[in-house]
Amino acid sequence: MSFAQETVSRKAGVYHPRPSVGAATDPQTIIDTAPKGTRDWKRVLDAVLRLHNRQHAKLIKVVADKTTLDRERFYFKFWDDLRFNTRFEDADPRALTNRQVRAVTELWAQRRLSVATVHNYLSFLRTYATWINRPGLVRDVAYYFGEDSHYVRRDRTARADRSWIAKSVDVEAKLADVRAYDPWVGLQ
């Protein structure tokens, strides 16, 4: 291609960035070239997240910003806990094992995390395992906590009626109190 043809094919004043494939900042290059058990595990984890974090776990679609942020926070906390609060000091984000998951679930049990939180965290780990080509690695909650654990059953129904009517609260009187305290809120 001659210089004249090249200038015609490009629009004037438009910046054409070079592709980052193969560059030191390319996530796949970081994943492929960093040594196993690297001390720079955060860089490797960030590369995995940059490649996959926007993807839905099962569908071909993009997930919400809140989901990506929640996942990112969880994964960094998970690997931080794994490397500094368990015996897996050289754990690599590219090579998650079931023993590592079990070690962190024991930490969660010691911290008495809620049932919903544990289920959510294990769901995040299942998604992560598929990203690193280890689908089926993260098992059911009963495997990590036992069949008789309170973590196995997840209740989604209310056990008590907490409505104002059930508590015999006079709604009109309560609204009058609110209007007396703050007229602006009372208008809403």
- pTM assigned to the model: 0.73
pLDDT over 90 for what percent of the chain?
61
3-state secondary structure the chain: CCHHHHHHHCCCCCCCCCCCCCCCCCHHHHHHHCCCCCCCHHHHHHHHHHHHCCECCCCCCECCHHHHHHHHHHHHHHHHHHHHHCCCCCCCCCCCCHHHHHHHHHHHHHHCCCHHHHHHHHHHHHHHHHHCCCCCCCCCHHHHHCCCCCCCCCCCCCCCCCCCCCCCCCHHHHHHHHHHHCHHHHHC
User: pLDDT digit string (tens) for 47-70?
Assistant: 999 999 999 999 999 999 999 999
pLDDT of amino acid 22: 66
